[in-house]
Amino acid sequence: MDIVEIISKKQSGLELTDSEIGYVVAGYTEGVIPDYQMTAFLMAVYFKGMNDRESTTLTICMRDSGQVLNHERILGYKIDKHSTGGVGDKTTLILGPMAAALGIKFSKMSGRGLGHTGGTIDKLESIPGFRVNLSEEEFYKQVNEIGLAVVAQSGNLAPADKKIYALRDVTSTVASIPLIASSIMSKKLAANDDEIILDVKVGSGAFMKDLDEAEKLARLMVKIGRNAGKKVMAILTNMEQPLGATVGNALEVVESIETLKGKGPADIEALCCSICAYMLMDAKGVKSLDEAYDMARATLHDGSALNKFREFVKAQGGNDEVVDKYSLFQPAQQRIAYKAQSEGYLEKVDALEIGLAAGALGAGRHKLGDDVDHAVGIVVYRKCGDYVKKGDVILEVFSNGVGEVQCFEHLNNAIIIGKERKFKNLILKVIR
């Protein structure tokens, strides 16, 4: 096969065969196809797209470039929930214990934050002693025993995606629906759970800014997963403003614990209960969504999800006393209020700008391998649609003295106070 012919075929908008796609993925992963030819190939896909069959084949080839986990070793119905990334998204920390408390196996590989978005693994590492790397044996044993494990992604899962993603990142070929869908789904299929629930974020703080584009991406990922024999659903959710009331690693863990105690913000509780309700319908055969929602919500108010969280933290080597004693988290040196400069409705509490503000303080990383400061971040006291008076505290900055000027510049861009009461639903669409 000839890579130049494959590139020019795609440049002309023609459909590639399964063996041509397999040749490109294997050739690039093994180093036979150089970066400059792969860049030309990715650029051709970026402009000409791929149909559903080509996207599925690309995904399967990337999945098969490394290890596919043997989930037969976990007893029971296993569900993975994947978020396409946002600001203040601590859903996994709450949903995992809720699902496990209801007898669903929640085995998850999570990522670290990059750019303005946070990552579950960084959040978990703010718990003293918490281990995000378990051996395969430990991982399976823990999921079988307590129903829940969350670990950092193993190096051998979809290595083709790792290499291709790094190239896309530096060749401006990330924002392509078939390339994003195949990248995400190759890792989800390699993790090999029975069901995948995709939380596709939409809005300023998300990858997809626009609902139509997000829906195209969601539908393609659902189709790829189903073509590969998995049960898949997608839920499209609003990421115009941060989810919940905190952005920053330790702050988000504390907020998750509060939510597990039944005292969390309404939006984060509603999202976790909704996703958990779909899990209950699929894993436990609960017939009505309302009944399943109530069962899910009960775990946050009867202590069962909180107990699972304690077991989970302890099983992964963390200090479970953090649940009762938040002072065990590293504190930030100072707290600075951000106050309303006029009176009116909050028309915008922009997720992207708040994510960038938290990043400037050191909560996120600018490139892979950077250290994060677990203590810093932003608390969001008021959300879109709230009425504020001049001088009311809208946000609070938890800082260790780094990046405060940039942080406040971003916060000034984030907040718009006006005359209109604007409000968008949290759950925008469900694809099942």
As annotated, the active-site residues are: 82, 161, 168, 183, 187
CB 402 within 8 A of CB 213: no
Interface stretch with ligand URA, choices 50-58, 73-81, 176-184, 232-240 (CB under 6 A):
176-184
CB 335 within 8 A of CB 307: no
Is the dihedral angle over the CA atoms 86, 89, 93, 98 positive or is it negative?
A: negative
| By CB under 6 A, residue 55 contacts ligand URA | no
Rounded to whole angstroms, how far apart are CA atoms 259 and 253? 10
Interface stretch with ligand URA, choices 172-180, 192-200, 221-229, 261-269 (CB under 6 A):
172-180
CA distances (Å), 410 to each of 165, 283, 356, 360, 415, in order?
Answer: 28, 43, 7, 9, 9
| By CB under 6 A, residue 315 contacts ligand URA | no
CB 231 within 8 A of CB 281: no
How many other CB atoms sit within 10 Å of the CB of residue 367? 8
Q: What tokens does 106 get?
A: 């929640």
Interface stretch with ligand URA, choices 173-181, 218-226, 228-236, 295-303 (CB under 6 A):
173-181
* Minimum distance from residue 181 beta carbon to ligand URA (Å): 8
| By CB under 6 A, residue 180 contacts ligand URA | yes
DSSP 390: T
* Minimum distance from residue 50 beta carbon to ligand URA (Å): 14
| Window 194-233: residues binding ligand URA (CB under 6 A) | none
Rounded to whole angstroms, how far apart are CA atoms 132 and 105? 18
- Minimal CA–CA distance to 77: which of 238, 365, 278? 278
The closest residue (CB) to ligand URA is 183
Stated length of the chain: 432
* Minimum distance from residue 184 beta carbon to ligand URA (Å): 5
Complex with ligand URA: residue 86 or 88, whichever CB lies closer: 86
One-letter amino acid for residue 41 of the chain: F
Interface stretch with ligand URA, choices 60-68, 117-125, 175-183, 411-419 (CB under 6 A):
175-183
**x-marked contacts with ligand URA along 146-165 as a string, rule CB under 6 A:** -------------------x
Residues 6+ apart with CB under 8 A from 261: 300, 303, 306
* Minimum distance from residue 270 beta carbon to ligand URA (Å): 25
CB 242 within 8 A of CB 203: no
Taking CB under 6 A as the criterion, the residue among 29, 120, 142, 183 binding ligand URA is 183
Query: What ranges make up the beta strands (E) of 328-426?
Result: 334-339, 344-349, 377-380, 387-388, 393-399, 415-418
Helix, strand, coil % over all residues of the chain, rounded to 5: 50, 15, 35
One-letter amino acid for residue 380 of the chain: V
Taking CB under 6 A as the criterion, the residue among 87, 184, 214, 372 binding ligand URA is 184
* Minimum distance from residue 187 beta carbon to ligand URA (Å): 6
* Minimum distance from residue 175 beta carbon to ligand URA (Å): 9
Name the site residues for ligand URA (rule: CB under 6 A): 165, 174, 179-180, 183-184
